[in-house]
Structure 1
Amino acid sequence: MKSITIKGSERESVGKKATKALRNAGQVPCVVYGGEKPLHFSADELAFRDLVYTPNAHTVKVDLGEGKLRAIMQDIQFHPVTDKIMHIDFYQLFDDKEVTMNIPVQLEGNSPGVRNGGRLLFRKRKLAIKALPDKLPDFFNVDLSKLKIGDNITVESLLNDDFSILHPDNTVVVQVKTARAAVVIDDEDEEGEGEEGATAEGAEAPAAEGGEN
């Protein structure tokens, strides 16, 4: 998995007054858990841009000058009015210790079901997994090229020995449902079809992640 380096400074004072002063100076107070004791540090808000404002998943290298450690973002708090980053919690990574992380799902290819008028429903845009840090994937790649009307792709087809997916095997990730204008054709007719039609990105895909955290 790709990593982003965050350069910051260790915090000696963690009281409300010191935290407020940091925020007024454009710094984000952070805590890294998982080690022998919590590590408090701060970094410029702009340093978190590529980590926070992206659909991709990344690990983090926290660079405090004298030492570096690997971590993943666990929780983030935004200001309710300005949406500025108020606080971030991280969890330290160790080579021999599994970690839980949400991994994004990416769709590729054209669905025959969508070309025939079906509706593409993207049920799980992220999947929670448990793995050793070096086994964390950047994303799940889901191929739509054989997805006909009435078909679906479940977690079972994405299982891998490198990690555990923390959802039941029958959890639907993406499916094509019948629409009023849908045309159901057999395999022979489908083979003669051209490549015109909606792609995954152009299909109707309402967010319905079903209680995802």
Structure 2
Amino acid sequence: MSDDLYTLNAELRHDSGKGASRRLRHEGKVPAVLYGAGKEAVALTLDHDKVNNTADHEGFYSHILTLNIGGKKEQAIVKDMQRHPYKPKLVHLDFQRVSAKEELHTNIPLHFLNEEGIKKTGGVVVHHMNDVEIACLPKDLPEYLEVDVEGLEVGDNVHLTDLKLPKGVTLLELTKGEDHDQVIVTISAQKTEAEVEAEEEASSAAPEAPATDGENDSDDKE
């Protein structure tokens, strides 16, 4: 992905409140806040569609972004993003400033390799987590970590301590003690036809929950 995609134009926002935020959204903008690095928090607005399209890319959540605020550039990462409960819209974003000299804490995704080989040998790859929280300096921030399941057999597990970490990267969960070496992946046996049929029969025999009045009604409020 090009660096341009990691650059977002933003404007300072001087009004606040739910009414002001609602007006911004109707104008195709999304409100945001930028904080951290020992500086005062500032309220921002960004182009909704630009941010929403960029958010479709996995790297948006683990890459250091450039916020161009009236010609002044700030380095930041996404710390929180609120979406509308049933519309394909963003409601609010939190950005945290990044300082080259300060360690940052953030979640990055896991990429699983060679899962097809497990399926061919009668196994099923069960994911217990899809991302991990790390600590590192901005220069050492990876976009993802790889989990290679090649050669694993039914009953095998991959733990946090099995991950190969780039230089300068720490898994925060492991700093809490040895009993926090969580399982990332388990290789389970594929279900037999009989087991699948038994589950389907049990599911079809289960009574349906009675529908309630207004269950599917929705009120478009922002």
Taking structure 1 as the reference length, what is the TM-score of the superposition? 0.76
- Which residue among 147, 157, 160 is the counterpart of 1:155? 160
More helix as a share of residues = 2
Deviations 1:101-142 (A, max 9, x none): 111111122565432212210111101111111111111111
Q: Which has the higher contact order (CA 8 A, sep 6+)?
A: 1
> Structure 1 pair 41/180, CA: closer, same or farther in 2 (3 Å)?
closer
Trace 1:49-68 onto structure 2 (pairs within 5 A).
49-56=52-59, 57-68=62-73
Question: Which residue in the other structure is 1:88 paired with?
Answer: 93
The amino acid across from 2:52 in the alignment is: R
Whether contact under 8 Å (1:104, 1:140) holds in the other structure is yes
Deviations 1:81-104 (A, max 9, x none): 324111111111000111111111
Question: Contact (CA 8 Å) 2:115, 2:125: kept in 1 or not?
Answer: no
Pairing 1:105–2:85 present: no
2:13 corresponds to? 11
User: 1:77 is paired with a residue of what secondary structure?
Assistant: strand
- Mapped contact 1:111–1:147 kept (Cα < 8 A): no
Q: Which runs of 5+ in 2 are unaligned?
A: 175-179, 193-222
Report % sequence identity: 27
Question: 1:19-71: per-residue Cα shift (whole Å, max 9, x none)?
Answer: 22211101001100104211111011112134422333322110013200011
Question: Is 1:72 matched up with 2:111?
Answer: no
How do 1:1-213 and structure 2 match up within 5 A? 4-35=6-37, 36-56=39-59, 57-110=62-115, 112-160=117-165, 161-168=167-174, 170-181=181-192
Please identify runs of 4+ aligned residues in structure 1 that moved more than 6 A: none
> Relative to 1, partners in 2 of residues 1:82 and 1:55: Cα closer, same or farther, differing over 3 Å?
same
CA RMSD of aligned residues (A): 2.2
Q: TM-score, normalised by structure 2?
A: 0.73
